[in-house]
């Protein structure tokens, strides 16, 4: 199996499967005052796959079901603590990486699934790797997109001016709400305002935080992002900032790479946009070097977004191949 494949942007029919509706939707009590939204669609007897959304704070969407053949897969989506349909909304109380890992296990046990494919992008890829390292016996495959390893170097790139050198006009809009004397640590400066207790101030800064990321997600971006609903922006920005100011609640910087020996045997696919401005390809490359069972697919003419045509096609092909080649 090739470890590295460089794909060109392909013009082809929609690779996604037809829309499918859930056969099960529930609010699962995971303790600590949190209820998380969980749904199942597809084939109840199919190969189970759990989808870990990005952010933190992004939430899942119906379109995520379409990456999987509904006849072959039992598709599990959920909204992580504090976002989407989970409650309480935008809450960071009892909300850490390790709470989320425990929630994933609670879902698996509740649904009586011995092991499953874990599919995640961006922060979802981070969480997938951390979950797999904690519970390697519960993961049959890892399918990752837009790799983020939760390192200080990656945070410095995106919030310390690295990406801003390519998008100076968009970067200026991101830093404008922050006084010059606080711009040396934008994560901390935004934290102060996202958790000020003034709802209007929190929404205003949440929209600025979210706009910076949304504007850089696609390779076709012109540097502007559309209007973002205040409620969504507030949950997204507060949760993301909360995780980043706490370095993902990991024990040390570089923890994910250091612990790759725990899952070196787990089959994996890494789909990475060559021109990903949010999560540069260096992280995906480093991960592949530590992961003998993984295949790295660097996609030419693609950025970060799940919805980009070439990224979509690679992920859909990977899931179709897993369904064909391995029994449920």
Q: Select which of 69, 79, 103, 276 is catalytic.
A: 276
Three-state DSSP class for 298? strand
Phi, psi of 253 (to 5 degrees): -65, 130
Give me 219's structure tokens.
């390779």
> Tokens 């706490």 belong to which residue?
246
Give the residue among 59, 15, 62, 13 at the shortest CA–CA distance from 42. 62
Beta carbons of 109 and 42 less than 8 angstroms apart: no
Beta carbons of 235 and 82 less than 8 angstroms apart: yes
Give CA–CA dist 104/143, Å, rounded. Answer: 16
Phi, psi of 2 (to 5 degrees): -65, 135
Q: Select which of 41, 86, 122, 140 is catalytic.
A: 122
- Confirm whether 199 is a catalytic residue: no
Rounded to 5°, the CA angle 156-193-36 comes to 85
- Confirm whether 304 is a catalytic residue: yes
Spatial neighbors of 294 by CB under 8 A, at least 6 apart, are 3, 142, 267, 268, 269, 270, 287, 288
Secondary structure E strands in 138-287: 139-145, 268-273
| For the chain, counts of helices (H) and of strands (E) | 10, 9
**Active-site amino acid positions:** 122, 276, 304
């Amino acid at each position: 199996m090739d470890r590295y494949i460089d794909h060109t942007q392909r013009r082809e029919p929609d690779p996604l499967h037809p829309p499918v509706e859930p056969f099960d939707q529930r609010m699962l009590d995971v303790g600590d005052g949190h209820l998380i939204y969980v749904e199942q669609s597809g084939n109840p007897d199919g190969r189970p796959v759990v989808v870990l959304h990005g952010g933190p704070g992004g939430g899942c969407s119906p379109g995520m079901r379409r990456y999987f053949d509904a006849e072959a897969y039992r598709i599990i989506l959920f909204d992580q603590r504090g976002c989407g349909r989970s409650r309480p909304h935008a809450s960071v109380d009892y909300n850490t990486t390790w709470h989320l890992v425990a929630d994933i296990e609670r879902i698996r046990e509740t649904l009586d699934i011995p092991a499953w494919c874990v599919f995640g992008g961006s922060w979802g890829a981070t969480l997938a790797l951390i979950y797999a390292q904690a519970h390697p016996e519960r993961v049959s495959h890892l399918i990752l997109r837009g790799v983020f390893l939760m390192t200080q170097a990656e945070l410095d790139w995106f919030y310390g001016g690295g990406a801003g050198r390519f998008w100076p006009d968009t970067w200026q809009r991101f830093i404008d709400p922050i006084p010059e004397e606080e711009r040396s640590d934008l994560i901390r400066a935004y934290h102060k305002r996202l958790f000020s207790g003034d709802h209007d101030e929190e929404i205003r800064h949440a929209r600025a935080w979210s706009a910076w990321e949304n504007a850089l997600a696609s390779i076709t971006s012109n540097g502007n992002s559309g209007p973002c609903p205040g409620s969504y922006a507030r949950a997204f920005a507060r949760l993301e900032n909360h995780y980043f100011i706490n370095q993902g609640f990991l024990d040390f910087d570089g923890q994910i790479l250091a612990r790759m020996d725990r899952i070196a045997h787990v089959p994996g696919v890494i789909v990475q946009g060559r021109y990903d401005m949010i999560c540069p390809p260096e992280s995906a490359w480093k991960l592949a070097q530590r992961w003998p069972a993984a295949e790295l697919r660097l996609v030419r003419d693609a950025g970060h977004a799940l919805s980009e045509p070439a990224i979509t096609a690679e992920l859909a092909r990977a899931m179709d191949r897993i369904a064909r080649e391995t029994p449920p």
